[in-house]
Amino acid sequence: MRIDAHQHFWRYSPIEHTWMSDAMGVLKQDYLPENLYPLLAGLRFDGCIAVQARQSLEETRWLLELADRYDFIMGVVGWLDLRSKDLPSQLERFARHPKLVGVRHVLQDEPDDTFMLQPEFHRGIAQLQQYDLAYDLLLFPKHLPFASKLVAEFPNQQFILDHIAKPGIADGNISPWSEDISELATYPNIACKLSGMVTEAKWNQWRPSDFLPCLDIVFKAFGPDRLMVGSDWPVCLLSANYESAMEIVIDYLQQFPADTQAAILGSNCARLYRIAIA
């Protein structure tokens, strides 16, 4: 079983997708399951995890609706308002869906770097475990020390770090990212997605060797049981096609035994997101 642990769908709206700058013109169109399926099949991937791109309950509802229609969408990481007093009813409404496997907030865009340490946010995180929902952390390197505090505060909550926290691959400046992500990885309840790397490199000018220092650090920090591959499609199209983005990790894994490759290419994702595999 091979699973792309991180990708997005959207019907493009200039009002709702304001994060797409003029330089991101390739993203300003619809990207839907029928566009992704042949890309997955081309690399012999069986399914994917669809991750929210809008911070609304409507986004979560829509992604779960897509997951009902397309079997290869194995799980959804949606958005719920963790700071809301209405969160219990939101969880009751959405968590009953078997394909809701996690929740995410775009922490990297919050003006307060300590947003994730706010009491209201903590109250929300505390309610996820009873529903077996993971929490995805979307961060910049500057947020890693705060993420360590959050993960330490909730030792029984599964956290998953997106995009290896976006180190400075383009300029080769990976400190203090390297030290801080290694510190975060000391907590056993955090896993990491090998995703989103091509857009942190020089767009369309990178070489596979550009990613080796970061991959080496992440593998040493997390080990083979807490890593999973993700494309970040269609965002990856800013700097690479789907196949090239995924083959960075697939090729890197050739140095490891077959069981390690299988874990990172699928079974870790299924286990950590609690996906039921028939």
Q: Which helix (H) or strand (E) holds 49?
A: strand 47-51
In this prediction, residues 178-182 reach a mean pLDDT of: 98
Cα–Cα distance, 266 to 46 (Å, whole number): 9
Domain ranges of the chain: 3-272
Could you tell me what percent of the chain has a pLDDT over 70?
100
The average confidence (pLDDT) of the chain is 97
Q: Determine the length of the chain.
A: 278
Whether 6 shows a pLDDT value over 70: the answer reads yes
At residue 220, the pLDDT reads 98
Cα–Cα distance, 254 to 31 (Å, whole number): 31
The Cβ of residue 224 has, within 10 Å, a number of other Cβ atoms equal to 16
pLDDT, tens digit, 9 for 90 and up, residues 24-55: 999 999 999 999 999 999 999 999 999 999 99
Q: Is 164 within 8 Å of 196 (Cβ atoms)?
A: yes
Q: How confident is the model at residue 278 (pLDDT cuts 50, 70, 90)?
A: low
Angle (nearest 5°) at CA 259 between 254 and 263: 90
Cα–Cα distance, 197 to 155 (Å, whole number): 28
Residue with token string 């910049």 = 140
Token output for 193: 């997605």
* Stated pTM of the model: 0.97
Cα–Cα distance, 4 to 232 (Å, whole number): 9
Could you tell me what percent of the chain has a pLDDT over 90?
95
Find the Cα–Cα–Cα–Cα dihedral 108, 109, 114, 120, rounded to 10°. -110
At residue 24, the pLDDT reads 93
At residue 19, the pLDDT reads 87
Cα–Cα distance, 241 to 235 (Å, whole number): 10
At residue 51, the pLDDT reads 98
Q: Which among 93, 12, 107, 95 is positioned nearest to 55, based on CA atoms?
A: 107
Q: Which among 105, 103, 106 is positioned nearest to 94, based on CA atoms?
A: 103
Is 85 strand, coil or helix?
A: coil
pLDDT, tens digit, 9 for 90 and up, residues 136-166: 999 999 999 999 999 999 999 999 999 999 9
CATH code of domain 3-272: 3.20.20.140
Cα–Cα distance, 203 to 236 (Å, whole number): 10
Q: What is the 3-state secondary structure (H, E, C) of 208-231?
A: HHHHHHHHHHHHHHHCHHHEEECC
Q: Is 175 within 8 Å of 135 (Cβ atoms)?
A: no
